[in-house]
Structure formats: structure tokens, C-alpha cells
Homo-oligomer: A and B are copies of this chain.
Amino acid sequence: MDPLTVGQYDLVHNAFSFAIAGMGAATAFFFLSRSQVAPAYRTAITLTGLVTLIAMYHYLLIFGSWEASFLVSGGVVKASGVAFNDAYRYVDWLLTVPLLLVELILVMRLSRAETAARATKLGVLAALMVLLGYPGEISADASTRWLWWSLAMIPFLIIVYDLFIGLKASIDSQPPQVRGLVNSARWMTVISWCFYPVVFIFPMIGLTGGTALTAVQVGYTVSDIVAKAMFGVLIYMIASRKSETDLLSAGDLAAVR
């Protein structure tokens, strides 16, 4: 295991604790607030809360694994001999990444046929992307890592293309009050996701040691908070604003009470 300074160890430790608190608070927010949106959008908010709940669970495990991997004493960090288990991230992504895309599709409230088709396509591609990344992540061999990275990039690029080109007509059909928010959600997905394949190649381009380990862990954590909790707040805002719009047009104020 690479040597770390106490400052680096503490920074990663505190970033994981921040993720547990942030994901937990976000889950409570989504579960409590789902009753405040119209029934048509509640499933989207429920899934948003499931994503942060699953992430909180995995950050608890990652936090525990970090604690178990190092011994900190007298201002020095030593490897304990227990390997830090980063694979929890892949288990997390396999569950949460398809759900994140389904959340975005559901809050757009497309026709039933289009919802089913897009949710299935993006969900399957997302799962495939995570599964193809894993054999590379657990390999120390650079050419093996590049192979699986390249394979995982295929579904990644199809998803990005689909979010930008495929969803264009659907986004233009959204009420004008939420078009900007839906657009932000789409951009937030793409920008926060771009961090993951970049972090993946750090060890292949010569980055090693405690600084690289710290950068990777803090980077993944910040990306997860943006892609799951902050993205979820955007989904909630879209659902909330669309509920008002639907109500005004339906004249049905009772629905959100």
C-alpha cells in the first residue's frame, strides 16, 4: 500500500464522512419531500432517494475499509496489511447509475412507450458500462486496464450521445418553466460522469503514491455527491415546478395537499 501523510489520510477520512452525512441527509430530504410533488412524479423522487440511500450504505462500508487499512500513530500512517476495498464503488454504481438515468426519464413524464424504451436502453447501457469497467479496475496491468476502459467507453459514449441528441426532442416538449432545469440536469450528468473515466486512467499515466490515492478517493467522492445528491435536488426541483404547472393547468389544487 502506498504511503500516506496524516493530512492525506485525514482528508480522505473526512471526505468519506462528509459523503455519509450528505447522502443520508439527501435521502431523508427526498423521502420526506416526495409527498410534496404530484403523484405522477413521486416514483422519480422515490428512486432519487434510493440512489442516495444505496450510496450512503456503500460509503459506510468504504469508510470502514479505509479505517481498517491503515494504522495512524505518532504522526505516521502505516498500512495495516488489510487491503482497502474500492470495489464497493462498482457494486454501488451497478445499482445507482441505471436508477439515476431512470429518474431523469421519469421526471420528464414522456409517453408510457417512450419512457419504457428509453429507461430500458439507458439502464442496460449503464449497467454494461459499470460491468466492463470492473475487470480493468482490479487489474494492475496497464494494457488490461486500457482494454476494459476502452470497452466501457463504448456504452458511456452511447449514453452521452443519447442524452444530448436522442433526448433533444423530448426536452423541447417540456413546459418552458422547467426546460432550463432539465437541461442543467442533463449537463450535470455528463460533466460529473466525465470525471470517472479520467480518474480510472490516473494509474496508467504514471500517477502513484499517497497523492494519487488521495486525489482518486476525494475526486470519486465529490463526483458521487454531485452526480447523486445534487443531481437529485435538481430532479426534485423539476418535479416540484412541473407539479405546480400541471395543477394550474388542471385547476386541481387538492392533488399536492
Contact = CB atoms under 8 A, between A and B. Distances in A.
A251 interface: no
A21 B95 contact: yes
Contact of A21 (B24, B47, B58, B87): B58
Contact of A57 (B24, B34, B81): B24
B39 A256 contact: yes
A17 B28 CA distance: 22
A236 B169 CA distance: 30
Interface string A77-88: 000011101011
A20 interface: yes
Contacts of A158: none
Given A32-B46, A36-B43, A46-B33, A74 B81 contact: yes
A116 to B, nearest CB: 10
A92 B22 CA distance: 10
Interface string A16-48: 011011101100110111101001001100110
A50 B32 CA distance: 10
B28 A53 contact: yes
A84 B81 CA distance: 23
Nearest to A241: B112
A20 to B, nearest CB: 7
Grouping DSSP codes into helix (H, G, I), strand (E, B) and loop, the A interface class, with mixed when no group exceeds half, is helix
Contacts of A230: none
A17 B257 contact: no
12 contacts: A10-B87, A14-B87, A14-B88, A21-B57, A25-B53, A28-B50, A32-B49, A33-B43, A33-B46, A36-B43, A72-B82, A72-B83
B43 A25 contact: no
Contacts of A7: 138
Given A256-B39, A257-B255, A18 B57 contact: no
Contacts of A256: 39
